[in-house]
Structure formats: structure tokens, C-alpha cells
A and B are shown apart, each in its own frame.
Chain A
Amino acid sequence: AQKITQTQPGMFVQEKEAVTLDCTYDTSDQSYGLFWYKQPSSGEMIFLIYQGSYDEQNATEGRYSLNFQKARKSANLVISASQLGDSAMYFCAMREAGGGKLIFGQGTELSVKP
């Protein structure tokens, strides 16, 4: 069964520093997509970055990059130059081949300190 594990319930980072949020996944499918979402206290889930299982390059979107290690089944999110506005919950999610539902991890609460 597919599963997403985020082992860091909470993280602190100093403003302007980089931070890595961990995500491991379990699936028997060869084709799948991995997603990261940000959820501020307002509740809206904001899409950040996507990595496909067949993508050879790590995905990048501005200050966000994904450290994808397929053999280890990990898809860690790296946020460079943290900003105060980055304080939020971050969720890793997976979608298997054929579309369908997203499976989410439990999330990591990131706090950026000034």
C-alpha cells in the first residue's frame, strides 16, 4: 500500500538559512508523482513543486528544490534562503499511475526565526 512518511513534526530555521524537510514514500508502482504543498495558518494548500518518478533531474521552483533519491524512496524538500513567510505546515504527497487520490504525509511544521 502506498504511504508517505514525514518524520519531522516540527522544524526551526533561522531567516535566510536553508532547510531540508524530509519525506520518504512507499509504493509498488513504477510510475508515480511526488508533490509538496505548503499550508499556512489560513488553511489553503498551496502547491510548491512536483517530481515525477521518471524525471532524471531534481525539480526546482525558485527557492524550492526537491532532493529526489529514487532508490532510497525519498523526496526531500529544500528551501533556500528561508523567509518569515515560509512559516507554515508542509505536506509531502504522492499520486500513483492512473491519477486518482493524493496520499499525504502527516506534515512538518516549519517555523522561521528572525
Chain B
Amino acid sequence: KAGVTQTPRYLIKTRGQQVTLSCSPISGHRSVSWYQQTPGQGLQFLFEYFSETQRNKGNFPGRFSGRQFSNSRSEMNVSTLELGDSALYLCASSSDRGKHTDTQYFGPGTRLTVL
């Protein structure tokens, strides 16, 4: 099976702009989660989608949003970019039987730089 794919891999934006990141999960996986990784804060959970519904949300401002399509592909959007949004954004998918045993498999990430 193909792994989790994320596009684009690298992105440079300026403050105030908005950005959309895309994630295609492993075939058959219905759950997609997004994480932000920065040197200062480490890995932080953004949100999780399952069957086109947001199931969990982390402590991020409303500028961060996401959605999931019927084919389980997911996008996340960040509006009004700030310098502090510079980070590696990781997407993960799981088969999601709704259990703590479900392993999340990660994509290669999108490295966003905000100038």
C-alpha cells in the first residue's frame, strides 16, 4: 500500500497570507489527524477528522481549520499567517476502529516557513 502523502512538501509564505495543506491517507484509512511540530513546543495536536467530521480539536486559534472529503483526503488551512506558524505540519492516518490500539501512520510533512 502507498503511504500517507502530503503536498506540498515545502512552502514559503509571508505574514498575513493564507495557506492550504493537503493530505492523502493510506488507502482504506478513514481517520486523519494533523499535528504541528516546532522546536519550542514540540508535537502538538491540531485536529482529527473521521468520515468528513471533525472529531477532536486541539488548542489552536480559529485561524487553523480543516476538512475531510468523502474519499478521506484532508486539507488544513491557516489564515492570516503569523511568524509563529512556521513549523513542520504532519498528517497521520489510521484505520480507526475507535480504539487506543489504532496506530497512526505519518506522512513526510509539509515544512511551512512564514516570512
A residues lining the B interface (CB < 8 Å): 31-33, 35, 37, 42-47, 50, 52-53, 91, 95-107
Contacts and interface: CB of A to CB of B under 8 A. Distances in A.
A53 to B, nearest CB: 8
A98 B56 CA distance: 11
Contact of B106 (A45, A103, A105): A45
A104 B94 CA distance: 17
Interface residues of B, number: 28
B90 interface: yes
A33 B103 CA distance: 9
A21 B56 CA distance: 30
7 contacts: A45-B90, A53-B100, A99-B31, A99-B94, A100-B55, A101-B33, A102-B35
A102 B45 contact: yes
B98 interface: yes
Interface of B is mostly: strand
Interface in B83-114: 88, 90, 92, 94, 96, 98-109, 111
Contacts of B107: 44
B8 interface: no
* Closest CB pairs A-B (n = 9): A45-B106, A101-B45, A104-B43, A33-B100, A43-B109, A44-B108, A95-B100, A99-B98, A97-B100
B112 to A, nearest CB: 12
A100 B49 CA distance: 10
